[in-house]
Structure 1
Amino acid sequence: MDLNELRNEIDVVDRQIVELFEKRMDIASRVADYKIANGKKVFDKEREDIKLRAVKELAHSDFNKVGVEELFSQLMSMSRKLQYQKLSEAGASGKLPFMQVDGIDKETSRVCYQGAAGSYSEMAMNAFFGDKVNAISVETFRDAMSVLEDGSCDFAVLPIENSTAGIVSEIYDLLAEYEHYIVGEQIIEIKHCLLGVPGAKLEDIKTVYSHPQSLMQSARFLSEHSDIQQISMKNNAFAARKVAEDKDITKAAIASEKAAEVYGLDVLLKGVNQADSNSTRFIVVTNQKIFCKDAKKVSLIMEIPHETGALYHLMSHFIYNDLNMSKIESRPIEDRNWEYRFFIDFEGNLSDSAVKNALRGLREEAKMLRILGNY
């Protein structure tokens, strides 16, 4: 038998597989009708586990057993998605506990940011809310979450990701801990400067202060001046303020040019960060479950079963609903070794039927799912 004959045999089998697949999906559709009529959940994990064990035993080799398990896992996943779609068509998509608003009140709201005057967080806040914003500053990111929780502020502006240094992991962990929601984002360009007291020169500097991420972003410059001691601060503006207060020509801060203006420091060197296109993404967080009607990005946090293929199957909800997932990050779960939370961003609005359908499937199949915001 030659290759063409073998390929013809495969074509025959493939046509049979397609016919059987469509027959199976037709039955799955009728199963959905029954579940809708009787108020039953789509996902029945116990039933699926029994089914997978049974079909694996029908295969005649270990290799085929693995393949059959993967094949039927996919078939059942597709059946579930068909059933979720039918539930939505029947008006059973469910209501999300978020209120749609026309926009955010930027004029009368009170806003907090971490750091001090001249910080990048303040710059991001002013870019989003305007220079006349009613603002307060706090010492730490946790403080910002706390003032939201107790109602002292309406919004907080927090850095979540830098294009050079990556994510701000503490913000992700705080989003998991607090019941707060993202309602906006602001990206600003980062241009780090080396700041010293008036009269200081680059060769005078023995110690430099800055936020750990800013030190990381300026690693190339600092490696060229290995004799300079690096000291971490909670915020760049705190670093600039300390240098101004100490009045020591051997001390410098890596911070913004704005911080130099605020604290009366000289700019000893501009652009000490190694990347020419360095920017930071800030999120605007509130304790209110709201989203703007023109919101285009959804963020969520999810915990999944600790088993093979779990993440793969959950991600397919975005594919089947034609949703573009733009970001996924993982963070370890405290006190649960080698288990992780996943933070996901995808394009869409909570009022979209495709988004509702995807969230329904994710909610049923994930161990935990919480919407962090739509913005």
Structure 2
Amino acid sequence: MANDVLDTLRKDINEIDAELLVLLAKRRRISHSVVEYKISNNKPIRDEQRELILLEKLIAYGKSLGLDSYYVNNVFQTIIEDSVLHQQAMLQQSLNPDALNETNRVAYLGGQGSYSQLACHKYFSRRAGKLVELGCDSFSKITHMVETGQADYGLLPIENTCSGSINEVYDLLQHAQVSIVGELTQSVEHCLIAQPGVELNEITKVFGHPQPFAQCSQFIQTLGEMQLAYCDSTSSAIQEALKTKNSAAIASAQAGKNAGLEVIKSAVANQPDNHSRFIVVARKAMQVSKQIPTKTTLIMATAQIAGALADALMIFKQQKINLVKLESRPVPGNPWEEVFYVDLEANLAQNNVKRALEELKEVTEYVRILGCYPSESMKAVQVINNDSLVEE
């Protein structure tokens, strides 16, 4: 009798979940119509003031239904982000019709279960065309496949909130003949996974990619004399853990489950809020609409004299361009010489950006644009209600 009651309640929940999915699909279809209006009327894709008003109303209505503010805010922040990013992708596709393909061949590091694969699915789920996955064993292989036309796009991790910049990728971009056409941020949730039945005290060897090892360095120190084995990707680490007795790998819980491994310890990263930023590269640059948030990445070299870098950076301030990242890397074969990677919140189509680049050429040894692309780093609007500040 008790089971019959539980089954009935679960059936009701399943029906409600199905109804929610139908409504979400309807909302997305309407959102697609909205972007068509915004394109024809040259309106910004994102309207943060509208988002704020909408969230305030939803939170107030949710409270009247017995739902807490934090829950309502989180649910609708996710829905709004999905809507904005889908609209941005549609606008970009309308602006770059030559880039529309029946299939998107995407090269990324590793294979099944790698964080790059998860990022690949996240980014291309918002874009037309069938996804064809091309797992690679190195970053250089990824750019080579794009350069030679074997892949339409390449996905490269560029930085992580725990371990910082991925220098190998920055160095590769100095000479790779590709253009950055997109970016995304992927949540990274590292776990220690092993074969079923293996206990933590039985593990003698841990497999992992150098980046996860760096991001989990504090946990690794607690393992004492444990042997660390470096692999070219997280998916490779999983395969090694599958065939090596009393071993483990650092990967996501889902990747471990897919491979038949179990979580020995979860949340092993140095920081609980761990994210990796990826860039998407292609052979040709794309136009980016002024209606969406845009980033431009460039590389520049300055003269080896006092104040040369300061003179270059002052140009961005004078032209009211926000610089969001500055990274220096050595020039191979030229000891003590460096190049600088610069990320700007800017669109190459803007007049102040054009002026800045012309002025930059006069005070630097050289400047090379690596890409102008839509920014997908959405910052959630903050809502203040009667109870507290609500943040995503």
Give the secondary-structure state (helix, strand or coil) at the position aligned to 1:291.
coil
Deviation at 1:366, TM superposition (A): 1.3
Q: Which residue of 1 aligns with 2:174?
A: 176
Distance 2:285 2:187 in 1: 29
TM-score, scaled relative to structure 2: 0.67
Deviation at 1:365, TM superposition (A): 2.3
Q: How does 1:1-375 map to 2 (within 5 A)?
A: 101=96, 105=100, 108-130=103-125, 133-246=131-244, 248=245, 250-293=246-289, 294=292, 296-375=294-373
Distance 2:259 2:151 in 1: 26
Q: Which residue of 2 aligns with 1:16?
A: none
Q: Which residue of 2 aligns with 1:81?
A: none
192 and 106 in structure 1: CA distance in 2 versus 1, 3 angstrom threshold: farther
Report % sequence identity.
35
Task: Tell me if the contact between 1:106 and 1:133 (Cα under 8 Å) persists in the aligned partners.
Answer: no
Gaps of at least 5 residues in structure 1 are 1-99
Deviation at 1:258, TM superposition (A): 2.3
Residues 32-67 of structure 1, C-alpha deviations (whole Å, 9 max, x = no match): xxxxxxxxxxxxxxxxxxxxxxxxxxxxxxxxxxxx
Q: Look up the equivalent residue of 1:187 and give its one-letter code.
A: T
Residues 281-308 of structure 1, C-alpha deviations (whole Å, 9 max, x = no match): 0000111122322351110000111111
238 and 276 in structure 1: CA distance in 2 versus 1, 3 angstrom threshold: same
Distance 1:129 1:105 in 2: 12
368 and 128 in structure 1: CA distance in 2 versus 1, 3 angstrom threshold: same
Gaps of at least 5 residues in structure 2 are 1-94, 374-392
Distance 1:106 1:331 in 2: 35
Q: Look up the equivalent residue of 1:112 and give its one-letter code.
A: A
Q: Look up the equivalent residue of 2:109 and give its one-letter code.
A: Q
Q: Look up the equivalent residue of 1:267 and give its one-letter code.
A: V
Task: Tell me if the contact between 1:295 and 1:374 (Cα under 8 Å) persists in the aligned partners.
Answer: no
Give the secondary-structure state (helix, strand or coil) at the position aligned to 1:133.
strand
Give the secondary-structure state (helix, strand or coil) at the position aligned to 1:354.
helix
Larger mean Cα displacement after TM superposition, 123-132 or 159-168: 123-132
Distance 2:362 2:208 in 1: 45
Task: Tell me if the contact between 1:185 and 1:282 (Cα under 8 Å) persists in the aligned partners.
Answer: yes
Give the secondary-structure state (helix, strand or coil) at the position aligned to 2:119.
helix
Distance 2:105 2:359 in 1: 37
123 and 199 in structure 1: CA distance in 2 versus 1, 3 angstrom threshold: same
Q: Which residue of 2 aligns with 1:10?
A: none
Q: Look up the equivalent residue of 2:287 and give its one-letter code.
A: F
Q: Look up the equivalent residue of 1:114 and give its one-letter code.
A: L
Task: Tell me if the contact between 2:158 and 2:170 (Cα under 8 Å) persists in the aligned partners.
Answer: yes
Q: Look up the equivalent residue of 1:133 and give its one-letter code.
A: L
Task: Tell me if the contact between 1:183 and 1:284 (Cα under 8 Å) persists in the aligned partners.
Answer: yes
Task: Tell me if the contact between 1:191 and 1:256 (Cα under 8 Å) persists in the aligned partners.
Answer: yes
120 and 298 in structure 1: CA distance in 2 versus 1, 3 angstrom threshold: same
Deviation at 1:102, TM superposition (A): 6.8
Distance 2:355 2:363 in 1: 13
Deviation at 1:275, TM superposition (A): 0.5
Task: Tell me if the contact between 2:302 and 2:308 (Cα under 8 Å) persists in the aligned partners.
Answer: yes
Distance 2:351 2:97 in 1: 19
Q: Look up the equivalent residue of 2:268 and give its one-letter code.
A: V
Residues 146-180 of structure 1, C-alpha deviations (whole Å, 9 max, x = no match): 10111001100110000010111010011111121
Task: Tell me if the contact between 1:291 and 1:373 (Cα under 8 Å) persists in the aligned partners.
Answer: no
Task: Tell me if the contact between 2:180 and 2:285 (Cα under 8 Å) persists in the aligned partners.
Answer: no
Q: Look up the equivalent residue of 1:101 and give its one-letter code.
A: N
Q: CA RMSD in A?
A: 1.6
Distance 2:310 2:98 in 1: 36
Distance 1:367 1:155 in 2: 30
Count of residues in correspondence between the two structures: 274
Deviation at 1:316, TM superposition (A): 1.0
